[in-house]
Structure 1
Amino acid sequence: MPIHMITMPKWGLSMQQGQVNGWLKAIGDKVGKGDEVLDVESDKIASGVECAFDGTLRRQVAQEGDTLPVGALLGVVADVETPDAEIDQAVEAFQRDYVPPSDDATDVGPQPEKAQIGGRTLRYLKLGEGGTPAVLIHGFGGDLNNWLFNHADLAAHRAVWALDLPGHGESGKAVETGDVDELAASVIALLDDRGIERAHLIGHSMGALVAMAVAEKTPGRVASLSLIAGAGLGEEINRDYIDGFVAGSSRNTLRPHLAKLFADPTLVTRQLIEDIVKYKRLEGVNESLQKIASSAFDGNTQRRLYRDRLARLAPRTLVIWGAQDQIIPASHAQGLQGDIRVQVIDGKGHMVQMEAASEVNRLLNDFLGA
Structure 2
Amino acid sequence: MPKWGLSMKTGKIVDWFVSEGDTIAKGDDIVDIETDKIAGTLESPVEGLVRRIIAEPGSDLPVGAVLAVVAPADVPDAEIDAVVEEARAAVESGALEEGDEPEPQLVEVGGRTISYLSLGPDEADAPVVLVHGYGGDKNSWLFVQQPLAEDGHRAIALDLPGHGASGKDVGDGSLNTLTETVTGFLDALGVGRAHLVGHSLGGAVVAAVARAAPGKVASLTLIAPAGFTPEVDAEYLRGFAAASSRRELKPLVGRLFADEALVTRQLVDDLLRYKRLDGVDKALTAVLGTLLGDGDRQAIDTPALLKDVDVPLTVVWGASDRIVPVPDGVELTRVDAGHMAHMEAPGEVLTAIRARL
What TM-score results when the alignment is normalised by the length of structure 2?
A: 0.87
1:276-355 aligned within 5 A: 276-298=271-293, 299-308=295-304, 310=306, 312-330=308-326, 332=327, 334-336=328-330, 342-345=332-335, 347-355=336-344
CA distance in 2, matches of 1:197, 1:52: 30
- For residues 1-370 of structure 1, the aligned pairs below 5 Å read 8-20=1-13, 22-23=14-15, 25=17, 33=25, 36-51=29-44, 61-75=54-68, 90-97=80-87, 99-100=90-91, 102-104=96-98, 107-108=100-101, 110-128=102-120, 129=122, 130-155=124-149, 156-298=151-293, 299-308=295-304, 310=306, 312-330=308-326, 332=327, 334-336=328-330, 342-345=332-335, 347-368=336-357
Call closer, same or farther: CA 1:76–1:87 in 2, change over 3 Å.
Answer: farther
Deviation string, structure 1 residues 307-339 (Cα, Å, up to 9, x no partner):
256252242111111111111112x2x423xxx
**Contact between 2:65 and 2:87, CA under 8 Å: does it hold in 1?**
no
Tell whether the 8 Å contact from 2:214 to 2:309 is kept in structure 1 after alignment.
yes
How far 1:9 sits from its partner (Å)?
Answer: 2.4
Partner SS state of residue 327, structure 1: coil
Residue 63 of structure 1 deviates from its aligned partner by: 3.4
Change (3 A) 1:114 1:55: closer
Mapped contact 2:12–2:59 kept (Cα < 8 A): yes
TM-score between the two structures when normalised by the length of structure 1: 0.84
Change (3 A) 1:134 1:54: closer
Q: Which amino acid aligns with 1:115?
A: V
Instruction: Tell me, in whole angstroms, the C-alpha distance in 2 between the residues paired with 1:354 and 1:278.
Output: 20
Q: How much does 1:97 deviate?
A: 4.7
Number of equivalent positions:
348
Q: CA RMSD in A?
A: 2.8
Aligned to 1:3: none
After the TM superposition, which of the residue ranges 224-233 and 359-368 deviates more from structure 2? 359-368
Q: CA deviation at 1:138?
A: 0.6
Listed as ranges, the gaps of 5+ residues in structure 2 are none
Asked whether the equivalents of residues 52 and 70 of structure 2 are also in contact (C-alpha less than 8 Å), the reply is yes
Residue 53 of structure 1 and its aligned partner are, at CA, apart by 7.1
Residue identity opposite 1:127 in structure 2: L
Residue 5 (structure 1) aligns with: none
Change (3 A) 1:117 1:75: same
Contact 2:64/2:96, CA 8 A, preserved across alignment: no
